[in-house]
Chain A
Amino acid sequence: MSIDESTAAKVARLARIRVEEEALPALAAEFSAILGFIEQLNEVDVEGVEPMVSVTPMRLKRRPDVVTDGNMADRILANAPDAREGFFAVPKVVE
């Protein structure tokens, strides 16, 4: 399947990655090449085959729903590009 520039732009937007207008044709061509490679999968008869959920047959482990950790706001914020008064700071979200 061939990907056009508007699809490439849409995917970039969904992925929250800024792609400049002039980079879109090359990006679309790369996507088309990769998806062309992936399309070999259409040759496989998958009728009645379950999609794999877990590679090892296992039930996901459960733990008691209790607090085991906490009270370390300063450590959690230690790597933030912008932290203020005990919070992560971001540009204005609501007007």
Chain B
Amino acid sequence: MSELNELGLAEARDLLRKGEVTSVELTEACLQAIEAADALNAFVHKTPEIALERARAADERLRAGDAPAMCGLPIGIKDLFCTRGVPSQAASRILEGFRPEYESTVTDQLQQAGAVMLGKLNMDEFAMGSSNETSVYGNAVSPWRRGNDDTALTPGGSSGGSAAAVAADLCLAATGTDTGGSIRQPAAFTGIVGLKPTYGRCSRWGIVAFASSLDQAGPMTKTVRDAAIMLTAMAGPDPKDSTSAEIEVPDFEAALTGDIRGRKIGIPKEYRMEGMPAEIEALWAKGAEMLRDAGAEIVDISLPHTKYALPAYYVIAPAEASSNLARYDGVRYGHRAKLAEGDGITEMYEKTRAEGFGAEVQRRVMIGTYVLSAGFYDAYYNRARRVRTLIKRDFEAVFAEGIDAILTPATPSAAFALGEMAQADPVQMYLNDVFTVTVNLAGLPGISVPAGLDGHGLPLGLQLIGRPWEEGELLNTAQVLESAAGFVAKPARWW
């Protein structure tokens, strides 16, 4: 048997149920792997006591034959989720010392399902970033390298710690959140599976808000089956989130039939970007071929407003962020700046926010403030919301024509080096989300599946986009792609 921390959720679950391993053994294997992986800077708040206590409780439930779906499975939690009594900082200085008195609905449901929390995972500050470099903890590092070249690479972002931890087998799976691609891009960069569910599928309650109309939590896992298992535990209506949908959660694992015969897979011509690496273009064509071989029908489609998704996103997301982040005022939680003699409340706000927010967060809060300010609201914010309507209509039109899922590349490149984008203007970094951001704007489910390696031996992912609320079908198609691609590469251990 491989090392216990290398297992996925489904394998570990089955071994636990057969009594061949215990949750304490699994948890200890992960805790040891975490201790040996500080070089990855993935886990930023470790909770070994909580983990072992929950593992022991899980073992008891397993022995008693009363084991819920994820009983005893050790996972990592993105720092964006509020976890009771455990630092939950959204990787920001402004939430330094914050220990929530409550538990987010998603992590609470995972706990109810028996999952064991190993600790909190690194991310971009307030989930704003694509490389994990805006984190107050310093960046997480990808376990992957370009062959023998020891240049440190980004695990992607914002859920970079989650991606690094899952890819390096520090945990069996992790939670992520995705506002413009923050689950799918890091998953693609690190050779794992990342699923952003339909907007409203998972409760946002207790997750530090970035852009409320776009944010969704989702699983980051080693296999598509694991994503199905974990989504089933995370999803569901919640009275505490008025945008969570009153739609019953099916058993997503049961949807994995392996049969996609007759399904129509759309290939959108607008995703063929100028300057796209030939390897990604080839992988995309190969992915389509694999789905065709499995009995699906491949159809060329058009999503004409794709080009405008990123600029619309960079109005809507900062606008919502500027409003959501207004709560960080140095009064109720987190950091408050030291004040000078005679400073009043305005100085307290201004100094606290200048010290507490990093450069990218400040930039986005100010852009958001600008596009919402008197005189510009219509020209920027309302126009972006109109374009968002058009982007959603593009998808509705192809779904109405019978398209079941859409296949695209997950990212425009493989993982880049940490620091490589430091001199670039912010817009260059934003382009990372070019294939993923449309999905958030349209509220659709999207999944990134590892599908191949580039010439340097780095993972590349393909994205499948599904119809709203049909994550089951989407996961089924993703699993067919996963098995056909047969991606088994793992990063060679250097940390």
Residues of A near any B CB (own CB < 8 A)? 3, 7-8, 11-19, 27, 30-31, 33-35, 37-44, 46, 49-56, 58, 60-61, 63, 72, 75-76, 78-82, 88, 90-93
B308 near A40 (CB under 8 angstroms)? Answer: yes
User: Which chain A residue lies CB-closest to B96?
Assistant: A81
Inter-chain CA distance A13–B366, complex, in Å, is: 9
Most buried by A among B200, B311, B329, B388: B311
Option from A19, A37, A50, A56 in Cβ contact (under 8 Å) with B245: A56
B365 near A37 (CB under 8 angstroms)? Answer: no
Known: A30-B363, A49-B386. A41 touches B350 (CB 8 A): no
Q: Which residues of B contact A72 (CB under 8 A)?
A: 101
Interface: B335 (CB within 8 A): yes
Per-residue CB contact flags for chain B residues 118-149 toward chain A (1 = under 8 Å, else 0) read: 00000000000000000000000000000000
Known: A46-B386, A55-B199, A61-B242. A38 touches B380 (CB 8 A): yes
B330 near A78 (CB under 8 angstroms)? Answer: no
Q: Return 13 A-B CB contacts under 8 Å, by A number.
A: A11-B366, A15-B362, A19-B354, A38-B311, A38-B315, A42-B383, A46-B387, A51-B382, A55-B441, A60-B243, A75-B101, A79-B101, A81-B330
Q: Which residues of B contact A18 (CB under 8 A)?
A: 347, 350-351, 353-354
Inter-chain CA distance A60–B239, complex, in Å, is: 11
Q: Which residues of A contact B307 (CB under 8 A)?
A: 40
Inter-chain CA distance A79–B333, complex, in Å, is: 5
A79 near B334 (CB under 8 angstroms)? Answer: yes
A14 near B373 (CB under 8 angstroms)? Answer: yes
B389 near A51 (CB under 8 angstroms)? Answer: yes
Interface: B488 (CB within 8 A): no
Residues of B near any A CB (own CB < 8 A)? 97-101, 198-200, 213, 239, 242-243, 245-246, 305, 307-308, 310-312, 314-315, 322, 326, 329-336, 339, 343-351, 353-354, 357, 362-363, 365-371, 373, 380, 382-390, 392, 425-427, 430, 441-443, 468
A78 near B213 (CB under 8 angstroms)? Answer: no
B369 near A11 (CB under 8 angstroms)? Answer: yes
Known: A12-B366, A49-B389. A17 touches B350 (CB 8 A): yes
User: Which chain A residue lies CB-closest to B393?
Assistant: A49
B369 near A40 (CB under 8 angstroms)? Answer: no
Q: Which residues of B contact A13 (CB under 8 A)?
A: 350
Say how far A21's CB is from chain B's closest CB, in angstroms: 13
B331 near A80 (CB under 8 angstroms)? Answer: yes
Please give me the 5 A-B residue pairs with the lowest Cβ-Cβ distance, nearest first.
A55-B443, A51-B385, A81-B336, A79-B333, A46-B386
Q: Which residues of B contact A3 (CB under 8 A)?
A: 370
User: Which chain B residue lies CB-closest to A42?
Assistant: B383
Q: Which residues of B contact A12 (CB under 8 A)?
A: 366
B99 near A79 (CB under 8 angstroms)? Answer: yes
Say how far B206's CB is from chain A's closest CB, in angstroms: 14
Inter-chain CA distance A4–B348, complex, in Å, is: 26
Q: Which residues of B contact A16 (CB under 8 A)?
A: 326, 329, 346, 349-350, 353
User: Which chain A residue lies CB-closest to B99?
Assistant: A79
Inter-chain CA distance A78–B347, complex, in Å, is: 24
B390 near A41 (CB under 8 angstroms)? Answer: no
Inter-chain CA distance A57–B356, complex, in Å, is: 37
Q: Which residues of B contact A40 (CB under 8 A)?
A: 307-308, 311
Inter-chain CA distance A54–B382, complex, in Å, is: 13
Known: A63-B239, A91-B339. A55 touches B442 (CB 8 A): yes
B383 near A41 (CB under 8 angstroms)? Answer: yes
User: Which chain A residue lies CB-closest to B444?
Assistant: A55
Say how far B99's CB is from chain A's closest CB, in angstroms: 7
A80 near B366 (CB under 8 angstroms)? Answer: no
Most buried by A among B322, B336, B367: B367
A91 near B345 (CB under 8 angstroms)? Answer: yes
User: Which chain B residue lies CB-closest to A89?
Assistant: B331
Q: Which residues of B contact A53 (CB under 8 A)?
A: 385
Inter-chain CA distance A15–B333, complex, in Å, is: 19
A93 near B350 (CB under 8 angstroms)? Answer: no
A17 near B383 (CB under 8 angstroms)? Answer: no
Q: Which residues of A contact B365 (CB under 8 A)?
A: 15, 17
A30 near B425 (CB under 8 angstroms)? Answer: yes
Known A17-B353, A58-B243; 18 more pairs at CB < 8 Å: A11-B366, A16-B329, A18-B354, A38-B311, A40-B308, A41-B311, A41-B315, A46-B383, A46-B386, A50-B389, A52-B386, A81-B330, A81-B331, A81-B334, A82-B336, A90-B345, A91-B345, A91-B347
Inter-chain CA distance A3–B367, complex, in Å, is: 11
Known: A17-B357, A52-B385, A75-B101. A80 touches B350 (CB 8 A): no
Known: A51-B385, A55-B199, A79-B332. A17 touches B312 (CB 8 A): no
